[in-house]
Amino acid sequence: MIKLITTLFLAFLSTGLFAQTSNLERVEPAFWWTGMKNPKLQLLVHGQDISSRTVKLNYPGVKLAAVHKVENPNYLFLDLEIAASAKTGSFPILFAASGKPNLQYKYELKARNLSANRAQGVTSKDVIYLLMPDRFSNGDKNNDVVKGLKESTLNRDSIYHRHGGDIQGLMNHLDYLKDLGVTALWMTPEIENDQPHASYHGYAVTDYYKIDPRFGTNELYKAYVEKCHSMGLKVVKDLVHNHIGTESWLIKDMPMKDWVHQWPKYTNSNFRDAAVMDPHGSAIDKKVMLDGWFDHSMADVNQTNPYVQNYLTKYKVGMALLLTIRGIPQLYYGDEILMKNYSNPDGLVRLDFPGGWPGDKVDKFTASGRTEKENEAFNFVRKLANYRKNTTALQTGKLMQYIPQDGVYVFFRYDQQKTVMIAYNSSDKAAAVKTGRFAERTGDFTKALNVMSGEQINAIDNLNLAAKSITILELK
């Protein structure tokens, strides 16, 4: 997952076509960049009987290495080699046929943005926030329903219909996410899903080079990325290569019959990953797992309650472990305000973020709109996430852990700047822990700061841990 090159591939540029455009429907990607590390580029060309034509191009530094014809005469695959010496600019790709007018596509090589830290990736220094744009916030009601798309209804009362969230809504709340302490934003796919039903989730792609117009435009997405970068937030791109929407033009007019996995009758994947790795597993179980479709609409590409306080205590333990243990922590939208993670039916894991729509009765983006428990959870996550953001020991530091004793698990994250001790008491009874056995890490430290409470601890020889709790100490 990478901090993005912000310019998206455009699916279809009318300005790139000359002559009889009706016979040349798509060239993808519609443009490319100079200065790429990999000099090879394959173009997919789609048009009526396009394979009957001869392809020619002439541009310094660009070589037409191969032309591939496939089973469907409406496709060509062009292999280009772009030398390091190639300059930015446009050049015509000619599609010629005897006795017919020539077709041309004006292909453009753009200048690659080589700014420092443009693509720096996601590391253990980051906290990722995963969200579904349709369910996060509606910033532009004008694009809620778009004429011409197959799903033409909006229904916030249904977990399977579109609700109207969009990229503008996310941009409106970047300050909220920055304040929470997250450093990278991961939207579920925001590209076009022109399916007649349940198009909100983004995983039934019908155009890989176009932002779904109900989320915004390619230009708005670029502005979103630029704004994130200006705020020090990374952007994670969710790519879907395993399956494709059944309404996609690539399915309606497939390049070849085995473009997707074909079955005598509809076969769903069994989603049993172990079948692939099991040396004793049956061939049929492996095939159903690998080749079965994700869903009918997604073709498989051949590639106040008395228990609340107890719940909140467990929640804090889970969040604390997530934000202090090794690895890259990820939050799902609403985790910070105790949104439920019901999974039966599946659509309940994608409820709207309260306050993301004009007219919502409550606004969970603000402290005044949250309940006391929700604010307690939010403040806990915000404080620890921001502490982590400023503490390299929790990002890239080493880990040393000790065998749990009497239900108490202790581990340390440390580097040359700081040593942080995390003690988790899983027992339903309070525990008194002598720290002598941790001397390898406590060393000459004698005092500590309780990261979450701010309490100064003047002696760390003995620690008192509440039942079912986690304590985070910065050693002094």
Radius of gyration (Cα) for the chain, nearest Å?
A: 27
The mean per-residue pLDDT over the stretch 91-119 comes to 91
The tens digit of pLDDT for each residue in 27-52 reads 999 999 999 999 999 999 999 999 99
128-131/330-332 β-pairing:
parallel
CB 341 within 8 A of CB 332: yes
CB 413 within 8 A of CB 423: no
The CATH 3.20.20.80 portion of the chain extends over 122-260+301-390
Residue 347: per-residue pLDDT:
74
pLDDT band at 305 (very low <50, low <70, confident <90, very high): very low
Answer whether residue 6 shows pLDDT above 70.
Answer: no
Count other Cβ atoms within 10 Å, centred on residue 462: 10
418 exposure class (CB count in 10 Å sphere: 0-12, 13-18, 19+): middle
pLDDT band at 275 (very low <50, low <70, confident <90, very high): low
The CATH 2.60.40.1180 portion of the chain extends over 398-476
- Nearest Cα neighbor of 295 from 188, 160, 172 is 160
Architecture of domain 14-110: Sandwich (2.60)
Q: What percent of the chain has pLDDT over 90?
A: 72
CATH tag, 122-260+301-390: 3.20.20.80
Q: Indicate the SS3 state at residue 207.
A: strand
What letter does residue 375 receive in the DSSP assignment? H
The CATH 2.60.40.10 portion of the chain extends over 14-110
The mean per-residue pLDDT over the stretch 403-425 comes to 97
The tens digit of pLDDT for each residue in 439-472 reads 999 999 999 999 999 999 999 999 999 999 999 9
The tens digit of pLDDT for each residue in 195-242 reads 998 888 888 899 999 999 999 999 999 999 999 999 999 999 998 887
> Which residues are bridge partners to 449 per DSSP?
456, 474
Angle CA 443–447–449, to nearest 5? 120
Residue 22: per-residue pLDDT:
45
pLDDT band at 243 (very low <50, low <70, confident <90, very high): confident
- Nearest Cα neighbor of 233 from 267, 187, 265 is 187
Count other Cβ atoms within 10 Å, centred on residue 468: 18
Q: Indicate the SS3 state at residue 293.
A: strand
317 exposure class (CB count in 10 Å sphere: 0-12, 13-18, 19+): middle
Q: What percent of the chain has pLDDT over 70?
A: 86
Answer whether residue 287 shows pLDDT above 80.
Answer: no
Answer whether residue 98 shows pLDDT above 50.
Answer: yes
Q: How far is CA 368 from CA 169, 225, 335, 355, in A?
A: 20, 30, 18, 12
Domain 398-476 has CATH 2.70.70.10: no
Is this model's pTM higher than 0.85 or not? no
Region of 314 (left: φ > 0; alpha: ψ -120 to 50; beta: rest) is alpha
C-alpha dihedral (413, 418, 422, 423), degrees to nearest 10: 120
Residue 260: per-residue pLDDT:
75
